[in-house]
């Protein structure tokens, strides 16, 4: 499947988060061409300190041995923060496809230094969703990124 298919699934997750009153960031994990985990930022919905989209998708994937992640690709609508990048490195996820990094530049340099293959799609729909959210809910956005 092309990147567009999986990124659309991540974007659908992000929109779910927005519809629930949360931060619109979504993520899917893909293994052998199949989505094995999907999630969206649910910090607001679950009153959680850590449920970013990537963390929620990892949680939805369930407990797996470390070697299981060696052929997983993580698709996320926004550049991964330090926490989510740490989880990517911890589990040895080798590939990350990022919808956009204009709204927020996460730890891409650190991931690349550690050998993670990064692809930035510069996706217009991902950018628009975040721009709308940042305009409409700046206090929530600032809370989510720790400012």
C-beta separation of 54 from 72 below 8 A: no
Catalytic residue among 13, 20, 34, 54: 54
DSSP assignment, residue 103? S
The beta strand positions in 4-133, using DSSP E, are 26-31, 34-40, 72-78, 95-100, 117-120
Annotation says 113 is catalytic: no
Helix (H), strand (E) counts: the chain: 7, 5
CA distances in angstroms from 56 to 42, 110, 113, 132, listed in the order given: 7, 21, 25, 22
Which bin fits 37, alpha (ψ -120 to 50), beta or left (φ > 0)? beta
Distance between CA atoms of 8 and 125, rounded to whole angstroms? 9
Q: Which residues are catalytic?
A: 54
């Amino acid at each position: 499947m092309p990147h567009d298919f999986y990124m659309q699934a991540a974007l659908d997750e992000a929109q779910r988060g927005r519809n629930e009153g949360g931060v619109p960031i979504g993520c899917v994990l893909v293994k052998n061409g199949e989505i094995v985990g999907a999630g969206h930022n649910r910090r607001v919905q679950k009153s959680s300190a850590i449920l970013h989209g990537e963390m929620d998708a990892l949680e939805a994937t369930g407990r797996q041995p470390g070697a299981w992640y060696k052929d997983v690709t993580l698709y996320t609508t926004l550049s991964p923060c330090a926490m989510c990048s740490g989880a990517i490195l911890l589990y040895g996820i080798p590939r990350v496809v990022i919808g956009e990094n204009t709204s927020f530049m996460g730890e891409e340099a650190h991931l690349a230094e550690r050998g993670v293959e990064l692809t930035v799609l510069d996706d217009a729909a991902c950018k628009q969703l975040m721009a709308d959210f940042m305009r409409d809910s700046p206090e929530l956005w600032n809370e989510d990124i720790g400012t």
